[in-house]
Amino acid sequence: MSALLELRDAHVRYADGTAALQGVDLSLHAQQWHGLVGESGSGKSTAVRALLRLLKVDRGSVHWDGDDVTAVPERALRARRRLVQPVLQDPRSSLNGRMSVRALLAEPLDIHRLHAGAAREARLVDLLTRVGLEGSFLPRHPHQLSGGQRQRVALARALAVEPRALLLDEPVSALDVSVAAQVLNLLVDIARAGGLGCLLVTHDMSLVRWLCPRVTVLYRGRVVESGAADAVTAAPAHPYTGLLVDAAAGRAPSPLPVAASMVAPACTFAPRCPRATDLCRTDPPALRVVDNAGRLAACHHPR
C-alpha cells in the first residue's frame, strides 16, 4: 500500500545556504503513528513543510497517496490539502488572536465549503466536544484560553475538515507536563476513532516509544536511523539515537543544539561520537540495513 505522504531523497536548502535536508526518506502510512525525532535544528519542521509541499524540495520528490506531487501546481493540490492537517507547537502563533473560537473553526469549513447553513452550528459544537471542550467556548478568544485549551482549539480546527492525517510538530512541547499528557491522550483517542495517520515530531524519545510503532531519527538534515520504535529505543544502532534515548531516560543531559558552524567531516556526527574512528572522519556512512528486522542506520560502527 502506498504511503499517505512520502519524501524520497529530499534535499532542501534555504536561501541563506543552510542545507536543512540532505537526502531524506520519510513516509507516513494510513492509520499509523510515525515518530520523527532529532534535536532542535535537525530539520524536522523542514521535513514537515516539504511533506505538505509548503516549500519545494531542491532534489528528490514528494508523494501523496503514491502520486508524485513534486511539480504539481498549487491550484491542482488545493482540494487534497484538506486531507493532511498540521498541528504546530505554539497555538499562540498558529491561532489568529483577533478571531473568536467560532470564527477560527468556521474558517476551514468556509474554505472547503463544508457544513454550511443550519448544519454549521451543530458541527462547531460537535468539534469542540471531540476535543474535550464545549459550545460555551465559541465566543471566546485565544487569549481567554489556557495553553491546553488553545491547543485543543487548534486540534479542532485541524479536525474540522475531516483529514486522514495529522502532522504534529512538537504539539505539546509548549505545555506543562500534566496538560501535555492530557492533550496526547486526546490525540491518541482522536486518531484511533478517526483512523488517522499521525506524524509525531518531537525531540523526546520516550513519547515516540509510547505512541509510535515506527521512528525516523534525523541528525543535521540526514536520516541516521530508522526502524521499529521499540527495537530502536531498546537498542539504538546509531550512537546519536543512543544519546536521545539516554536524554529521554534522564541518563544524560539533553544533547547540545547543533552548532551551525561545525565543519562537516565525513560522518557529521563524528565530532560528538564516542565511537568515532579514522574511518568516520574520512568516509561518509551510508544508510544501510543493520539487523534482520530491516532497521536502517547510517553508522560505520552500529550496535
CA gap 222, 236 in Å, rounded: 16
| Least distance CB 207 / Mg ion (angstroms) | 15
List the x/- string, 12-31, binding to ligand ADP by CB under 6 A.
--x-x-x-x-----------
CA gap 48, 33 in Å, rounded: 14
Q: Which of residues 227-286 bind ligand ADP (CB under 6 A)?
A: 260
The sheet with strand 33-37 has its strands ordered as 84-87, 165-169, 197-202, 33-37, 214-219, 222-228, 296-297, 288-289
Instruction: Count how many Cα atoms sit within 13 Å of the Cα of residue 113 in the half-sphere of its side chain.
Output: 2
Which among ligand ADP, Mg ion, none contacts residue 14 (Cβ within 5 to 8 A by kind)? Answer: ligand ADP
CA gap 255, 5 in Å, rounded: 29
Among 22, 45, 202, 241, binds Mg ion (CB under 5 A): 45
Applying CB under 6 A, does 54 fall inside the site for ligand ADP? Answer: no
Nearer Cβ to ligand ADP (178/261):
261
CA gap 282, 277 in Å, rounded: 9
* DSSP E strands, 185-240: 197-202, 214-219, 222-228
Which among Mg ion, ligand ADP, none contacts residue 43 (Cβ within 5 to 8 A by kind)? Answer: ligand ADP
CA gap 258, 241 in Å, rounded: 15
Applying CB under 6 A, does 171 fall inside the site for ligand ADP? Answer: no
Nearer Cβ to Mg ion (43/302):
43
| Least distance CB 41 / ligand ADP (angstroms) | 4
List the x/- string, 99-138, binding to ligand ADP by CB under 6 A.
----------------------------------------
Residues near ligand ADP, by CB under 6 A = 14, 16, 18, 20, 38, 40-46, 260
